[in-house]
């Protein structure tokens, strides 16, 4: 298993609905930021991954399990871990926490693509 990468963020008004609760779609933005942090740690960043390997990552599946609401001004941590790696695909798990309370768990599956076709992922992913 690849090491965990942790992103931190404070919930801002733009993340929230009229009741000051984080809107459901915003979690996918939190996941994307956490994945980019994971790529920074594992591949030197998304741009470097593309430049060095020629592989682009394309989302084929994205899901979120909502457990508890996050609210305006909450300080959150988003852990990103590799859950599964295939020859051309990669599934990452993103866990949103407020302290020790898990608020949401996301799973995003990517396929490596080069020249419009599935391509093997670089070994360091």
Query: Among residues 36, 37, 38, 28, which one has the least CA distance to residue 62?
Result: 28
pLDDT tens-digit series, residues 64-95: 999 999 999 999 999 999 999 999 999 999 99
Say what the pTM is.
0.91
CB 108 within 8 Å of CB 61: yes
Flag whether pLDDT at 45 surpasses 80: yes
pLDDT tier at 123, thresholds 50, 70, 90: confident
Buried b (16+ CB within 10 A) or exposed e, 72-83: eebebebbbbbe
């Amino acid at each position: 298993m690849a090491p965990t990468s942790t992103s931190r963020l404070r919930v801002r008004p733009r993340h929230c609905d009229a009741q000051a609760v984080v809107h459901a779609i915003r979690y996918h933005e939190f996941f994307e930021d956490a994945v980019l942090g994971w790529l920074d740690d594992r591949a030197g960043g998304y741009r470097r991954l593309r430049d060095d390997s020629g592989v682009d990552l394309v989302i084929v599946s994205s899901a979120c399990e909502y457990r508890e609401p996050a609210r305006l001004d909450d300080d959150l941590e988003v852990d990103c871990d590799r859950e599964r790696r295939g020859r051309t695909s990669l599934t990452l798990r993103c866990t949103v926490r407020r302290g020790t309370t898990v608020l949401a768990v996301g799973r995003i599956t990517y396929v490596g693509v080069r020249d419009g076709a599935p391509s093997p992922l670089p070994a360091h992913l």
